[in-house]
Structure 1
Amino acid sequence: MPAKTAAPADAEAEAPKKKKLPLLIGGVVALVAVGAGAWFFVLAPGDAEAAAEPEPEPEKGEVVPLEPVSINLANGSYLRLGLALQQTVEAAEAVDGSEALDLAIKTFSGRTTEELAKPEVRDQLKAELLGEVEEAYPDEVMEIYFTEFVTQ
């Protein structure tokens, strides 16, 4: 009979071991996952080095401010617009901004003050004007800046 009593005691001793085994395996899997994640996001070679080096900006030339102009808007309103032209490095001398001002007048004339009060409309018109200015001044102008933008 002693053999029968020993078997249940061994079964009771193995029961806690069986409960601890899945917890132990789960803990090991979790540690491996955390370690792999840390390596991937922090220590991984390759893209991290490329992302750390910013793209160099193109070299910019002189900024040429132009005299502000008054542009007639719809309903008897007007826009006082000041521009500056960012030249490229290749531009030999300061550009004459007369054509840029003419293009600005054509772009903004007849608009309403409500239209021009919306930042997204202003940005769209500025992008349109920049495209026309770049076409008019090939390899000379790379950006335009509004130095005044007042509606009344």
Structure 2
Amino acid sequence: MANDEKADQKAGADEAPKKSKKKLIMIIAIVVVLLGGGAGGYLMLKPSSATAEPEPEPGIVVPLDAITINLADGHFLKLKLSLQATADVAEAPDGSKALDIAIDLYSNREMAELMSNQERERSKAELKEKIEAAYTVDKEKEIMDVYFTSFVIQ
């Protein structure tokens, strides 16, 4: 009887490593399939560089006159900006539209709202987007960037 018990214990001991090895192999196989599927999906869905819109060539930088914009609570913003035109533009763009957009965007804003770098960058991105849209003719961008050359709040 002692031999039978030893044989049963030995058989049980052999089955445990086999089950854990099978489990480990299945886990590794699942991870490999998931990683392969994720990589394949990324490669299939990522935008192709051939279909991406090429960045326009930079042209002249047009500095605009400084303007003073009324903020809330009697404060004001002295803003001077420059427009980066694309190389395709035949003549320097008139800055009137850009200044009008800046006045609309910043008028009556709270001074504290514009004091942080993060908010200033967010509002600059919004200004750039609006200016680019205003200076787009027949899907051709005339302005590719906006620079703050002076941004003084008092």
TM bin (shorter chain): 0.5 to 0.7
Scaled by the length of structure 2, what TM-score is found?
A: 0.64
Conserved? CA contact 2:71–2:77, under 8 Å: yes
TM-superposed deviation, 1:151: 0.6
Change (3 A) 1:28 1:115: closer
Deviations 1:57-82 (A, max 9, x none): 52143232213223343444321101
Scaled by the length of structure 1, what TM-score is found?
A: 0.64
| Bigger Rg, which one | 1
Change (3 A) 1:91 1:33: same
Of all paired residues, the percent bearing the same amino acid is: 29
Following superposition of structure 1 onto structure 2, how do residues 1-152 of structure 1 map, counting pairs within 5 Å? 7-8=4-5, 10-37=7-34, 39-40=36-37, 44-45=39-40, 47-48=42-43, 51=46, 55=52, 57-62=54-59, 63-117=61-115, 119-120=118-119, 123-124=122-123, 127=126, 130-131=129-130, 134-135=133-134, 137-139=135-137, 140-152=142-154
Structure 1: 5+ residue runs without aligned partners? Answer: none
Change (3 A) 1:146 1:27: same
- C-alpha RMSD of matched pairs (Å): 3.7
Structure 2: 5+ residue runs without aligned partners? Answer: none
Partners of 1:9 and 1:115 in 2: CA distance: 79
